[in-house]
Amino acid sequence: MIPVRGFDGARVAVLGLGRSGLSAARALRAGGAEVLVWDDNEAARAAAMAEGFAPVDLTRAGALEGAAALILSPGIPHLYPLPNPVVAAAWAVGVPVDNDIGLFFRSLATEDWEGFDSPPRVIAVTGSNGKSTTSALIHHVLSAAGRDSQLAGNIGRGVLDIDPPGEGGVVVLELSSYQTELARALTPDIAVFTNLSPDHLDRHGGPGGYFAAKRRLFAEGGPDRAIIGVDEDEGRFLANQMAEGAADDRVIRISAASKLTGPGWSVFARKGFLAEWRKGRQVASIDLRVIPGLPGAHNHQNACAAYAAARCLGIAPREIERAFHDFAGLPHRSQLVAEVGGVRFVNDSKATNAASAARALAAFGRIRWICGGLEKEGGLAELVPHLGNVAKAYVIGREAAAFALHLRDIPHEICTTMKAAVARAAAEAEPGDVVLLAPAAASFDQYDNFERRGEDFVAELDRLLEARGRAGS
C-alpha cells in the first residue's frame, strides 16, 4: 500500500466505493486521515463497513463542511453531462476534488528515495485504444528483463494498493481519460499516448474535452520522455507541442501507418516489421509477423509504444524482442481462444467502439464477424474501409436489426444472442476463416461489462466444441 501523504489528522471524503474508492480510503487511513466514505450502493457500503469504515451520507447538506478534500471514483461524473450533486456541493464550500491518481502521485516519493542510486520510475499510458495491451506489454518486457515492475491503474491493481517501489523499481500505470482529467497531480517519468478516436464524448463534453483530458498527462505532467502515437492529427499536434525541435529526442514518435524519418527518435511498424530510428538512421528492427501474441497493425502500434518505453529504460532491443515472443496477450483483446479444423476463434470483446473494431477487422483476412450491442456516439464510419475482410456478420444485441443497417451489402444474420451467433458462425466457418468477436459497441444492453461478454463468447464456444466432441465419439 502507498499511504497517502499530506492529510494526517484531516477529514477527507471518499465518494464511490468500488475498487479505486475503497483503495483510496484504505490508503488515506494509513496516512492518518479521518476518512468519510459514501456510495449509493448498499452492498458497496457494507463492504466498506466490513473494513472498519463508517459510511457518512455525503449527499446531505453540510456533510462536506470541514473536509480537506473530496476523492472521487472515476465512474462518477464531475462536470459533464452534469456534475454529481456531491461534487457541486464541494465546489460550493471550496473543498478540492481529486482522485486516487492524484493521491498516488503526491504520495509516491518518500525520504527513502534520497538513498537510492536509481530512484523508482513511473510510466503512464493513456489513449483511446491499446492502452491496456501496451501497459501489460511494458510490464511484461520489464519483468522479463529482470526489472522490478508493478502494473496498476485502470488495469491490474489500484494505484494505491501497490507496494512502495524500491531501488530501480518501475510502476506502469494504465490511465483512462476519467482518471487523467481530474487528478490534481500528474508527474510520470515517461508518458505514452497510443491514439485517439471518439469515445466517452458525453462525459467530456465532446471530442475537444476528451482530447484535453488525455493531453493533461503531458502538458501538466511534464514527463522526461513523451512517447506519442502520430497516426492521428491529435497525436501529431501533441508531439509538435511537446518537442523543442525536430531533433528533440525527449519526444519519441510512434506509428503503425507510416515510415517516420528525421533527426529525432522514432519507432514505427510497416509491413509487420518494427524499426527504431535515431538521428536519421535505423538502429534496430523486429519482425512482428511471427509473434502470436501481437496480431495486426493495432497490436504493432502497441508493440512500438512498449518498445520505446523499454528503450527509455535502457533495455536492449534483443531483450525486448525475446519478451515479445513470450507475451500471451490479454483476455478480450485479440485473444486467440481456440483453433479447430483450421478455423481460429478470436475474442476481442474490448473492441467497444468503431475504431477498435476496425483495427481488429484489419488484422485478419476472411472473417466471420460477431458484432453489435449498444451503439456509441461517433457512428460506425471507421469500419467501412475494412468490411471487405468480412465474409459474413452475425449481429447480437437488443437492437441487432438497427445495428445491421450499418453493414451495407455485406452478408449478415440477425442472431440477437451470443449463443446463436457463435453456433451460426462456427457452423458456416471454413478452414482459414477467423470467427471474430469485435462488437464495435458497448455491452450494457446484455452484459454488465465487456469482460462478461467475452467470457460468454468463450463459454458458448466451449459448449459448442464439447457437444461436437460428444457427437463425434
**Domain identity same for 198 and 150:** yes
Q: Say if 104 falls within a structural domain.
A: no
- Count of domains forming the chain: 3
**Domain identity same for 264 and 355:** no
Q: Say if 149 falls within a structural domain.
A: yes
Domain limit, last residue, from 279, 298, 326: 326
- In the prediction, which pLDDT does 473 show? 54
Ligand-binding annotation for 131, yes or no, is: yes
Ligand-binding annotation for 134, yes or no, is: no
**Domain identity same for 362 and 294:** no
Ligand-binding annotation for 352, yes or no, is: no
**Domain identity same for 94 and 222:** no
Q: Say if 396 falls within a structural domain.
A: yes
Q: Say if 103 falls within a structural domain.
A: no
- In the prediction, which pLDDT does 200 show? 77
Q: Say if 1 falls within a structural domain.
A: no
**Domain identity same for 223 and 348:** no
Q: What would the 3-class secondary structure string for 71-99 be?
A: EECCCCCCCCCCCCHHHHHHHHHCCCEEC
Q: Say if 369 falls within a structural domain.
A: yes
Domain span including residue 21: 11-98
Give the contacts of 175 (CB within 8 A, at least 6 positions apart). Answer: 101, 124, 125, 126, 131, 153, 154, 217
- In the prediction, which pLDDT does 60 show? 96
Beta bridge partners of 122: 171
Ligand-binding annotation for 127, yes or no, is: yes
Domain CATH for 219: 3.40.1190.10
**Domain identity same for 200 and 288:** yes
pLDDT, tens digit (0-9, with 9 covering 90-100), for 86-123: 999 999 999 999 999 999 999 999 988 999 999 999 99
**Domain identity same for 143 and 69:** no
Q: What pTM was computed for the model?
A: 0.85
Domain CATH for 23: 3.40.50.720
- In the prediction, which pLDDT does 102 show? 97
- In the prediction, which pLDDT does 408 show? 81
- In the prediction, which pLDDT does 382 show? 84
pLDDT, tens digit (0-9, with 9 covering 90-100), for 25-61: 999 999 999 999 999 999 999 999 999 999 999 999 9
Using alpha carbons only, give the angle 429, 431, 434 rounded to the nearest 5 degrees.
60
- In the prediction, which pLDDT does 293 show? 87
- In the prediction, which pLDDT does 329 show? 82
Q: Say if 4 falls within a structural domain.
A: no
**Domain identity same for 135 and 265:** yes
Q: What would the 3-class secondary structure string for the chain be?
A: CCCCCCCCCCEEEEECCCHHHHHHHHHHHHCCCEEEEECCCHHHHHHHHHCCCCECCCCCCCCCCCCCEEEECCCCCCCCCCCCHHHHHHHHHCCCEECHHHHHHHHCCCHHHHHCCCCCEEEEEECCCCHHHHHHHHHHHHHHCCCCEEEEECCCECHHHCCCCCCCCEEEEECCHHHHHHCCCCCCCEEEECCCCCCCHHHHCCHHHHHHHHHHHHHCCCCCEEEEECCCHHHHHHHHHHCCCCCCCCEEEEECCCCCCCCCEEEEEECCEEEEEECCEEEEEEEHHHCCCCCHHHHHHHHHHHHHHHHHCCCCHHHHHHHHHHCCCCCCCCEEEEEECCEEEEECCCCCCHHHHHHHHHHCCCEEEEECCECCCCCCHHHHHHHHHEEEEEEECCCHHHHHHHHCCCCEEEEECHHHHHHHHHHHCCCCCEEEECCCCECCCCCCCHHHHHHHHHHHHHHHHHHHHHHHC
Q: Which residues of the chain have pLDDT under 70?
A: 378, 472-473
**Domain identity same for 206 and 257:** yes
Domain limit, last residue, from 326, 345, 361: 326
Domain limit, last residue, from 270, 303, 326: 326
**Domain identity same for 190 and 213:** yes
Ligand-binding annotation for 133, yes or no, is: yes
**Domain identity same for 169 and 283:** yes
Residues 443 and 438: their CA atoms lie apart, in Å, by 11
Q: Say if 173 falls within a structural domain.
A: yes
Distance of CA 392 to the CA centre of its chain: 29
**Domain identity same for 297 and 339:** no
